[in-house]
Structure 1
Amino acid sequence: MTDALLNIKGVTRSFAAGDQQLTVLNDINLQIMRGEMIAIIGASGSGKSTLMNILGCLDKPSQGSYFINGKDTSAMDEDDLAALRREYFGFIFQRYHLLSDLSAVGNVEVPALYANEAQNTRQDKAKKLLSRLGLSDRLDHKPAQLSGGQQQRVSVARALVNGGDVILADEPTGALDSSSGAEMMKLLRELHADGHTIIIVTHDPEIAAFADRIIEIKDGEIIGDTSNASSQEPNYPKLATQQGLHQKADVNKGMNWSRYFAALKMSLIAMSNHRLRTFLTMLGIIIGIASVVSVVALGAGSQQQILDNISSMGTNTIEIKPGTGRGDRRSARVRSLTADDATALSNLPFVDSATPTVRANVAIRYSSETVSGSIQGVGTEYFRVRGYSLAQGQFFGEDSIESLEQVAVIDSNTEQELFADGDALGSVIFLGRLPVRVIGVTQALDSVSSSSDELNIWLPYTTVSGRIFRQNYVDDITVRISDNVDSDVAEQGIIDLIAMRHETVDFFTINTDTIRQNITKTSETMTLLISAIAFISLLVGGIGVMNIMLVSVTERTREIGIRMAVGARQTDIMRQFLIEAVLVCFCGGALGIGLAYLVGEVFQYSNSEFEMIYSSTSIIAAFACSTVIGIVFGFLPARNAARLNPVDALSRD
């Protein structure tokens, strides 16, 4: 007799039962030759299913040795055992154990998928096998659309798709009617005639009678080993797929991207067939990503609006004053600042506008009203520098500067003080002894640089210098910096230019952009704070993904067992669940970003003055974050799924 294909020596299998050990198999010795058709028979609880699980590498013995083609399985790791299940064994289960989400072809090609078969090749093999078994018109039907006999034939085709040298049939007719049962046994005899080694586990003597050899087991021990055939070993045909163990196991080593694409496809199918669970899983991610992106956009929009408002108030300005500092007593005697300096500064590329200023405190008189106020001689750019806008009339222009025109623009406080009827335009007021005509009234401005109850009147600086003081210098120059320029850099550029023009540093600068910078920092801090809160919600969403994925592993334990039984490696199972977790988080991230944009549209529709500014950086970070969350929080469920025992997983409902 040739060497045994399957050889069990002194195998014992025990299970923990509380503080004791329950022995299901006790010192089993069994040899099975290539091409035999064997029936393992016994009553329920006799240990026959446990023996089949050990034969099919679904379970490991507690003691003893199991050899396949002379190779000791105890020295093999989980992936090697998966390779044996995938390459040598085909399982036909009593309860069929088909994947409900896949079609008949999809179920049959699963073992070939884990064997790295090309997609076209495995689909062709699956279709041919199903057609051979009379299911050519049921290729795209899912298990729920097939009868019991048809489902069993699908499981037979799945057992054969990788060759199936050894077919392990667990109560193959137990769930079938008598007619379908007879067809199944006929099919097994045909497979036996083709050279497959058939091992049938049954409690029915009539089914066992189809076998050439009957192994009877009772209370975990073999009590009978009889033959129905001639004592001479039949000359069984050798299958073309039967090779040495090492040759076969090495075929499928290495990287194959088709498994990744197939896992992606199966993940999409699983997500599609469990839409509610998938949506609930990604809901936390959707809310978290939408919160982060919306908060960043809201912060950027708020910051921009605040900065625009600050800019309109003239706070992004630099003032140039004579002397060496605020406490310089000689500053009043320094008369080197001129209107030409302001003109030179306005030509700098980072300067938005510049204006000279000449100040005077005089009595302001209109009709019988006399008040004290601030008279400022300014350039045409002054109102832009300080952020003033008109309520009535107009500003004076360059022609007024050149002609020393006696015209004035007053603020709303002056109008209220001098003109009770509100009709200031065209009126003549006296500034000391100088009569001037009012041509404009500015809107009220809440400026950080001036008091809200101060009376202000602005004239062309040439008018004040030539007609009131008769001087050729100015008191100070105010420069407005462009919004996209660093104020410190701009300040240094201004100092360099004026120092070069004066050939000495007889001036000092006051940078009022500090307020703008402080508000920018404050808004950034608030955005960071709110983003941190939003990130916490994202973290909670990730924990929700992990929890629901853990529940999903529990719900899909039988599916995991089926995949392991047909040869899935631990890495295959982990890849499957990791891809699902990443897909859930990635799709949740995409939906979250869409929700953030929707919030922005609603916000803009309800408040047209405010705009949320979306950052591509935050969007990319959101996608990256959702992917990382899928990997991090999907790892534990995926690892738990990969570590399941195939036998335990198959026994779950």
Structure 2
Amino acid sequence: MSEPLIALSGVGRRFGEPEAQVQVLQDVDLTIAQGEMVAIMGASGSGKSTLMNLLGCLDRPSEGQYRIAGVATGSLAPDQLAALRRDHFGFIFQRYHLLPHLSALENVAIPAVYAGKPKAVREARAAELLSRLGLADRTGHKPSQLSGGQQQRVSIARALMNGGNVILADEPTGALDSRSGQEVMAILQELNVQGHTIILVTHDAAVAAYARRIIEISDGRITADRVNEHLRQDLALTRDQTTSLDTTGAREGWRSGWGRFVEAAKMAGIAMATHRLRTLLTMLGIIIGIMAVVSVVALGRGASQSVIDNISRMGTNTIGIYPGKDWGDTRAARVETLSPGDLRALQGQIYVDSATPSISSTQVLRYGNLTANASVSGVGEQFFRVKGYDFALGRSFDQEHIQHLSQVVVIDDNTRQRLFANDNPMGKVLLLGSLPCRIIGVLAAQDSGFGNTDSLNVWLPYTASMARLEGQRFFSSILIRVKDGMSNAVANQQIVQLLTLRHGTKDVFTNSSDSIMKTVQKTTGTLALLISAIAVISLIVGGIGVMNIMLVSVTERTREIGIRMAVGARQSDILQQFLIEAVLVCLLGGTIGILCSFGVGLLFSLFVSAISMLFSVGSILMAVTCSTLIGVLFGFLPARNAARLDPIEALARE
């Protein structure tokens, strides 16, 4: 004798804690052959719905054995049970259990989504089924736009989507009027004639009369199993039919997996759109966190760049050359080897942008009846480029002034304010000690946190300083500006080698001012890191908000999860859908946060001119990465909880 399609042996089902369990089913022995139409009758609380849940692999027996086509279901994993529900069973529920935010066509196609069928194939199949059931003109309607009978027909079409070898109908006419109920039963009879096994669960004798076999259950036990005398002649036609069962599931290709992913993303998007306010509140913490991180990084980069630019104008990419072996060398004053020849040799090096000598002294300045002490330096025509100084008036002296020992000077803004407060200094004669010099340029005010900004400074050609003021033939120092992109360390090494070769001994030392730049960069980087860490805290808080809202979402949508599991969704499908939703929420929030940070940058530029916010691709990529990670990390727990829900408990939630 062939193996029956469904066989239950000594099956029982208990609920509750071990110390207070309730026995709902006990010692149930039942066989159902392929092609039968069976009615399970009983009063409310008799255990008929629990029995149906066991038959449909929505639940597991507490004891006994349940076999489908000879395969014991007790040893099957959750995903194998999902494959059975997806590929062999079709459920018709009393309350229809349609997803309210999907159209009739989309509701019918759900089982095929989880079966991995291409979109075109499943939509064509769904449209065909709806057309056969008289709903060709209702495919785009939402459940709320359909009557009860139409919704039940959609439910029947969904049950048939993947074949529906066994159709389990729980009170299929319970929520319908008599006419719609008769239409639904006629459809089920027609399906039975086509070879589908129909199992009806009902308390209505009129519905049970459509079945060829009636099983009565009371207090969890089968009390009667009889043949409907009116349909006895048809029963013999189906007893010998057999079926085979594949519990391994078809091997899934990448296209199928990608299709499920796309559909999961679509479902997540629909869920987000359906609950827009909740989605917005969920994103709020992410928006603020991402905006804070991107804005702080941009502000930190802008502040750092502003400081670096200011220091660069002071000559931070410069190298100073001084006589002696190091600072504090007592013999340095007797070293007189830095010469104009050294200057010309250095100016010809590839790494040198500009170079200037320096001969400094303190002199008394006189203009009219005003006097002041000032630092007077003899420098070359490239001095102001080396130092990055800007002119407010006039210009620098040139090579012709150097060659002719011209008595011309450039003064700083402090000297102008001290001696020429109410007068234009250009062309005026200024006495440096007893040396009269004509003013040809005035520097712009220097905003600097380094050195004494109140000091008075005057510069004249080094040739004039050496011959007319100091009476010496050597330089006190030489200052070099290194070309952009050249290494200060390499330039420093080359300078020492060149001068050692020229002097025959190492009698000079160098000091590279890029150490100031490195200190500033390190300090601003540390501050930016500190502020970013504070901003990251807001991201974590936002992530916790995402997790909490997603947990609430899982609770609110438990019934939806149960419906999806009933039609064959794997645990991985549920996990994927909720995880995608969490990631989408965070990515969307991150995108809005990035856009808001650009808005902050625009407002900042309108009110603050000293510093500009510098946005970088790196910070934006970091923000996107943070958004994704937050979605994955904080969305995983709610998604896992959703995937682990028991189908029966989920369907029972309202």
Interval containing the TM-score (normalised by the shorter chain): over 0.9
CA deviation after TM superposition for structure 1 residue 488, in Å: 3.4
Amino acid in the other structure paired with 1:398: Q
Aligned residue for 1:376? 377
Contact 2:83 2:249 in 1 (8 A): no
Normalization by structure 1: what TM-score?
A: 0.95
Q: Is the Cα–Cα contact under 8 Å of residues 392 and 441 in structure 1 kept in the other structure? A: yes
Distance 1:419 1:252 in 2: 91
CA contact (8 A) 1:313 1:446 kept: no
**What residue identity is the alignment partner of 1:404?**
L
Where does 1:554-565 land on structure 2 (aligned, <5 Å)?
Answer: 554-565=555-566
In structure 2, relative to structure 1, the CA distance for the partners of 1:92 and 1:433 (3 Å cut) is same
* Structure-2 residue corresponding to 1:618: 619
Q: Which residue of 2 aligns with 1:251?
A: 250
**Alignment correspondent of 2:149:** 149
Once the two structures are superposed, residues 22-68 of structure 1 have per-residue CA deviations (whole angstroms, 9 ceiling, x without a partner) of 01111111111111111111111110000000011101110111011
Q: Which stretch of the first structure deviates more once superposed, 382-391 or 470-479?
A: 382-391
Counterpart in the other structure of 1:454: 455
Which range moves more in the overlay, 619-628 or 55-64?
A: 619-628
Instruction: For 1:261-272, list aligned pairs within 5 A.
Output: 261-272=262-273
Q: Is the 8 A contact 2:325 2:509 kept in 1?
A: yes
Tell me how far apart the structure 2 counterparts of residues 418 and 99 of structure 1 sit (CA, whole Å).
Answer: 87
1:506 is displaced (CA, Å) by 1.0
Counterpart for residue 68 of structure 2: 68
Contact 1:315 1:448 (8 Å CA) reproduced: no
Q: Give CA deviations for 1:169-192 in whole Å, capped at 9, x if unaligned.
A: 000001101110111111111111
- Out of 483-492 and 177-186, give the one that drifted further: 483-492
Could you tell me which residue of structure 2 aligns to residue 504 of structure 1?
A: 505
**Distance in 1 between residues matched to 2:249 and 2:637, nearest whole Å:** 30
Per the TM alignment, residue 252 of structure 1 is displaced from its structure 2 partner at its CA by 4.9
Q: 1:347 to 1:173 in 2, by over 3 A?
A: farther
Q: Residue by residue, what CA displacement relative to the aligned partner does 1:368-410 show, whole Å, maximum 9, x if unpaired?
A: 4444432211111222323433333332222111111111122
Aligned to 1:295: 296
- Give the corresponding residue for 2:238: 236
Q: Is 2:203 the partner of 1:206?
A: no
Alignment partners' CA distance in 1, 2:332 and 2:449: 25
Distance 1:569 1:28, change over 3 A: same
* 1:98 aligned partner: 98
Work out the CA distance in 2 between the residues paired with 1:420 and 1:251. Answer: 93
The 10-residue stretch of structure 1 (53-62 or 489-498) with the greater mean CA deviation from structure 2: 489-498
For 1:436, the equivalent position in structure 2 comes to: 437
Percent identity over paired residues: 56
Please tell me whether the aligned partners of residues 214 and 227 of structure 1 are also in contact (alpha carbons under 8 angstroms).
Answer: yes
Distance 1:617 1:395 in 2: 42
Q: SS of 2:150's equivalent? A: helix
Query: Corresponding residue for 1:225?
Result: 225
Distance 1:25 1:381, change over 3 A: same
Q: CA deviation at 1:144?
A: 1.1
Q: Is the 8 A contact 1:292 1:622 kept in 2?
A: yes
Taking the TM superposition and a 5 Å limit, the aligned residue runs for 1:299-338 are 299-338=300-339
Cα distance, 1:597–1:116 mapped onto 2, change above 3 Å: same
Partner of 1:3: 3
Amino acid at match of 1:521: K
Structural mapping, 1:26-425, within 5 Å? 26-229=26-229, 233-236=235-238, 243-246=243-246, 249-253=248-252, 255=254, 256=256, 257-419=258-420, 421-425=422-426
Q: Name the aligned partner's letter for residue 574 of structure 1.
A: L
* Structure 1 stretches lacking a partner, 5+ long: none
Distance in 2 of aligned mates of 1:164 and 1:542: 42
- Tell me if structure 2 keeps the 8 A contact 1:401–1:460: yes
Q: Given that residues 356 and 476 in structure 1 are in contact (C-alpha distance below 8 angstroms), is that contact kept between their aligned partners in structure 2?
A: yes
How far is 1:263 from its partner? 1.4
In structure 2, the residue matched to 1:542 is: 543
Amino acid at match of 1:92: I
Check the 8 A contact 1:84/1:249 in 2, yes or no: no
Q: CA deviation at 1:165?
A: 1.1
On the 8 A contact 2:546/2:582 being kept in 1, the answer is: yes
Secondary structure (helix, strand or coil) at the match of 1:137 reads helix
Q: Is the 2:112–2:122 contact (alpha carbons within 8 Å) kept by the matching residues of 1?
A: yes
CA–CA distance in structure 2, aligned partners of residues 597 and 326 of structure 1: 49
Change (3 A) 1:482 1:565: same
| Residues 284 and 448 (structure 1), Cα distance of their counterparts in 2 relative to 1, 3 Å cut | closer
1:67-106 residue CA offsets vs partner (Å, 9 max, x unmatched): 1111111111111111111111110000000111211111
Q: Is the 8 A contact 2:33 2:238 kept in 1?
A: no
CA distance in 1, matches of 2:164, 2:420: 105
Aligned residues: 650
Higher alpha-carbon deviation: 263-272 or 640-649: 263-272
2: CA distance, partners of 1:603 / 1:343: 47
What CA distance in whole angstroms lies between the structure 1 residues aligned with 2:607 and 2:219? Answer: 78
- 2:138 is paired with a residue whose SS is coil
- C-alpha change, 1:392 and 1:137, in structure 2 (3 Å) is same
Cα pair 1:194 1:237 within 8 Å, conserved: no
DSSP 3-state at the match of 2:611: coil
Q: Quick check: 150-159 or 114-123, which moved more?
A: 114-123
3-state DSSP of counterpart to 1:329 = coil
Q: Deviations over 1:583-616 (max 9, x none)?
A: 2222222222222222212222333443211121
Deviation at 1:273, TM superposition (A): 2.0
CA RMSD of aligned residues (A): 2.2
1:16 to partner: Cα distance: 0.7
Taking a change above 3 Å as real, the CA distance of residues 453 and 114 of structure 1, as seen in their structure-2 partners, is: closer
Greater Cα offset, 291-300 or 347-356: 347-356
Deviation at 1:498, TM superposition (A): 2.5
Give the equivalent residue in structure 2 for 1:642: 643
What residue in structure 2 maps to residue 606 of structure 1? Answer: 607
Q: Which moved more, 1:65-74 or 1:227-236?
A: 227-236
**Aligned counterparts of 2:344 and 2:509: Cα–Cα separation in 1:** 18
Partners of 2:166 and 2:623 lie apart in 1 by 51
Give distance in 2, aligned partners of 1:417 and 1:644.
Answer: 83
Q: What is the distance in 1 between the residues matched to 2:525 and 2:499?
A: 34
Once the two structures are TM-superposed, the CA of residue 254 in structure 1 deviates from its matched residue by 5.4
In the alignment, the residues of structure 1 paired with residue 144 and residue 226 of structure 2 have an alpha-carbon distance, to the nearest angstrom, of 40
Helix, strand or coil for the counterpart of 2:106?
Answer: helix
Asked whether the equivalents of residues 59 and 647 of structure 2 are also in contact (C-alpha less than 8 Å), the reply is yes
Report the residue type matching 1:101 in the other structure. H
* Aligned-residue offset at 1:314: 3.1
Letter in 2 for 1:147: S
- CA–CA separation in structure 1 for the residues paired with 2:422 and 2:92: 102
For normalisation by structure 2, the TM-score amounts to 0.95
Q: Deviations over 1:282-341 (max 9, x none)?
A: 222222122111111111111000111112233443211111122222222211112343
SS at match of 1:214: strand
Residue 420 of structure 1: how far off its partner (Å): 5.4
Instruction: Give distance in 2, aligned partners of 1:602 and 1:416.
Output: 36
2:596 match: 595
Q: Which amino acid in the other structure matches residue 238 of structure 2?
A: Y
Residue 109 of structure 1: SS of its match in structure 2?
Answer: helix
Does the aligned pair in 1 maintain the 2:283–2:589 contact within 8 Å?
yes
